Chains A and B, each alone.
Chain A
Amino acid sequence: MLQAVPSIFGVIVISFVLTRALPGDPAVYFAGAMADKESIEQVRQALGLDRSWVEQFFIYVGNLAQGDWGQSLKTGQPVTEELLKRLPASLELTFIGLGLAVLAAVPLGILAATNPGSWVDHICRLLVTAGVSLPTFFTGLFLIYIFYYLLGWSPSPLGRLNILYLSPSHVTGFYIIDSLIAGDLEIFLGALAQLILPTITLGLFALAPIARMTRGAMLGALSSDYVRTARANGLSKSMILLTYAFRNASLPVLTTLGMVFSFLLGANVLVEKVFSWPGIGSFAIEALIASDYAAVQGFVLSMALLFITVNLTIDVILAITDPRVGLEE
């Protein structure tokens, strides 16, 4: 955990410098359409942008220490409030996308590993490589065109819930969980329907690393001594595959999942834009284009924290499931 501190500090510094280097002048941008020089200066003072960078930085860090992440100029809300409200949307998308990818990629990987070098193996490989070669925004747009516009099978690509529904009362922020807690099946289905296309778009992208790692780990496990012993003892093929081989292969797969998760969270940015998803990614794009300093910094910082948390969690899980892995390695 302590190891992460320098990284986080680095992230804070870099994101601060990066936002100040943006060519846009927030004071001009937010002073409004007809603002003259004088009113632009007033806005600049109000935003504290008339101070030196060093001063601004210390004010920023000081505020951070007090839990104040600043206020987004674009939406006019505190950044933390914005992020907390939007984070569940992004996480819901990422988790389900990742879930779909695991459901598809792990069997593919196992299938490939049990028949290495066969045509099944090659098809699997081509399939997952094709998935990772698709630009997410391109996949998303064409899925919308085909399934919403032409066929009308999918609901309008408009965020998390059809306009006609009210969001379920907030418990976890995950609509599909909250709607179930509220016992509202219609909203649950509605939220699920909205999730299908974006999660497929995202999931396609995650197939390759998971399938590759599964295949590799399974190959290793299948050629190991204990599997050979199990085979010699006459255990059934499926029993060997799932109980012995896969259990042991799941550790590296889990590690990969952590990496893929962080990666997907970043790849979300484009998917969210295409599907008008009210997550933190679309928030970040807008903020960047508007030179909304506090929002960009808040986004980057929260992603870094999330990234570190995920890795830590994975480490803990590994330590619990596999005694060979020590916590402090």
Chain B
Amino acid sequence: MKRRNFLKSMGVATGASILPFLKYIPVEAAGKKDTLVVVAANGINSLDLHRKGTNRPSYQVTVNIYDRLVRFGVKKLEDGSLAYDSTKIEPEVAESWTVSRDGKTLTFKINPKAKFWDGTPVTAKDIKWSFDRAVSLGGFPAVQMKAGSMTKPDQFIAVDDKTFQIKLPKPSKLTLPDLAVPIPFIINSKVAKSKATAKDPWATEYLHKNPAGSGAFKIVRWDPGQQFVYERNEDWALGPKPGVKRVIVREVPSASTRRALTERGDADLYMDIPAKDSKEIVTKTGGKVKVSGAPIDNCLHVLALNLKYKPFDNIKVRQAIAYAIPYGDILKAAAYGRGKPMFGGRDMKPTSVEWPQPFPYDTNLEKAKVLLDQAGMPGGFETTLSYNLGLAAWQEPTALLIQESLKKIGIKVKLDKIPGASWRTAALVKKRLPMHLENFGGWLNYPDYYFFWAYKYGHLFNSSNYKNPEIEKLVNDTLHMEVIDKKYEENVKRMIGIAFEDVPRIPIYQPYLDAAMRAPVNGYASWFHRQLDVRSITKAGV
């Protein structure tokens, strides 16, 4: 279609034949060079991350339109991709900070260049109001703040306009990184308070649709279920000026349509592209589209065995299954090679604190049979393997391959696909799935943080109902400990060693987060929150 091609080549050369149409070109189409078109599977449902019911895709709004006290740095990986650096914390609204000698008081100096969109300066009062809000509204924000030992408003003190303090009950290595996650974002409290009501003191109804921030981008349009549009905040001075002026994020539910749009050049960036497409799209387009990605820190795709159900309470059965997983086939057919193998480790004793690291198991059906014999179940047994409909792309092939392999050692597996809405209830809250696939990833990149969520009894992602007094103690001791502490390495190694031995969760691989983008798009970095940070993106001329 001529019109299409014409629009694509706009700004380069325009033939005389189409000149009469020029007056119909809408303003938005002009200057496509600084407009970035992004396609994503799911849309946002709120502009306020503190609101109850805000979905995961909405996190990116918070990242891009609000500022935080600090942010993580970005590092270059071996293959040239960019990724956030969990070890480097940089200033954002805070220009500097100090930690008291006892480690219980953090004092932040606010950058005078930090200004809200309405031109007023960001003050410690705004930060206090925002943090109070994060711990008071409950739900996920409160849980995440708690991970950084922040639970009550009286921990936050506005010393003066430009000084903000956080008081901690005890020192913790998690507090500072927890300030760089999306949750503790800073709201223009004057605007918000003016919209607050007695029934709604935190202005959730207002901020749900009307952000009031200081970030590098503003939301200029939001059509729920279809798209939303960012526009650069020209006055933002807390980092390098973003390379694109306008970002259109379009919601496209079908994965193949997303791929087609990217291949054909109708979309600039495709966030969270499935492994198979990310493997193929570069060669298919002859390099017109490139892929950038990194293994997701602290995230594992695992087969979880629920100890509440027989015979998974038997360690030999769990180990037998760990030896019967067709790891290589799964990596090939489900992850299309876009995963770091988490099998084939050498020793039952970990030699480093690296996490995640390969578990000392491999596909070995003989060994699996012997272990089943030892467990007193030579004939195998029957069970159900559940997986999440929403994650069927990797979980379904994985489940099928596991089902087939377990059949070979006599374990008959029935597959059960559970829709997204019931998945969380069944797997994580009620913890009633005997055998299931799970993919927890911790935002804060510490092994003990992973163990806190996934191995401590009763904790949300411990869907195995795993209970081990030693793990409980180790995690409690280590969670807030500094990495340089002498005991840290010893404790973490011991935790990993127990996980190796007990395998309530059998890791299969560490997934990648990939994004595909057209060649002129640069500066994409992958983040622990798995959302697009548009501030670093640049786009060369078309």
Contact = CB atoms under 8 A, between A and B. Distances in A.
- Is there a direct interface between A and B, measured as CB atoms under 8 Å apart in the complex? yes
Interface of A: 22-26, 28-40, 42-43, 46, 73-77, 82, 86, 141, 144, 148-149, 152-159, 162-166, 184-187, 189-190, 193, 273-274, 276, 278, 282-283, 286, 289-291
B52 A24 contact: no
Nearest to B221: A166
Contacts of A157: 257, 260
B469 to A, nearest CB: 21
A278 B226 CA distance: 7
Contact of B261 (A43, A73, A156, A282): A156
B357 to A, nearest CB: 24
Interface in B218-257: 223-227, 248, 250-254, 256-257
Nearest to A193: B1
B139 interface: yes
A34 B454 CA distance: 11
A102 to B, nearest CB: 27
A77 B257 CA distance: 26
A155 B4 contact: yes
B409 interface: no
A25 B429 CA distance: 10
Contacts of A73: 45, 53
B139 A42 contact: yes
Given A36-B460, A186-B24, A28 B225 contact: no
Contacts of B254: 273-274, 276
Contacts of A276: 251-254, 257
A189 B424 CA distance: 45
Interface string B44-63: 01100001111110000000
Given A25-B422, A75-B45, A158-B252, A30 B53 contact: yes
Interface in B20-68: 21, 24-29, 32, 37, 43, 45-46, 51-56
A28 to B, nearest CB: 5
Contact of B260 (A23, A28, A149): A149
B420 interface: yes
Contacts of A76: 45-46, 51, 53-54, 208, 224
Interface in B418-451: 419-422, 424-426, 428-429
Given A28-B424, A30-B53, A289-B421, A163 B248 contact: yes
Interface in B127-144: 138-140, 142-144
Nearest to A39: B139
B24 A185 contact: yes
A32 B140 contact: yes
A163 B421 contact: no
B29 A164 contact: yes
Given A144-B257, A152-B4, A185-B24, A165 B29 contact: yes
A30 B52 contact: yes
Nearest to A179: B24
17 contacts: A23-B425, A24-B425, A32-B56, A35-B460, A36-B143, A39-B140, A39-B143, A82-B225, A141-B256, A152-B1, A155-B4, A158-B266, A163-B250, A184-B24, A186-B24, A278-B226, A282-B253
A39 B53 CA distance: 11
B52 A46 contact: yes
A104 to B, nearest CB: 23
A231 B257 CA distance: 56
B225 A34 contact: no
Contact of B420 (A166, A190, A289): A289
A187 B385 CA distance: 51
A37 B421 contact: no
B348 interface: no
B99 interface: no
Nearest to A86: B225
A149 B266 CA distance: 11
A149 B425 contact: no
B140 A33 contact: yes
A43 B143 CA distance: 13
B419 A166 contact: no
A276 B258 CA distance: 10
B421 A152 contact: no
Contacts of B142: 39
A39 B422 contact: no
A162 B28 CA distance: 11
Nearest to A35: B140
B52 A186 contact: no
B3 interface: yes
Contacts of A289: 389-390, 419-421
Interface string B248-283: 101111101100110110100000000000000000
B266 A163 contact: yes
A156 B226 CA distance: 14
Given A25-B425, A184-B24, A283 B225 contact: yes
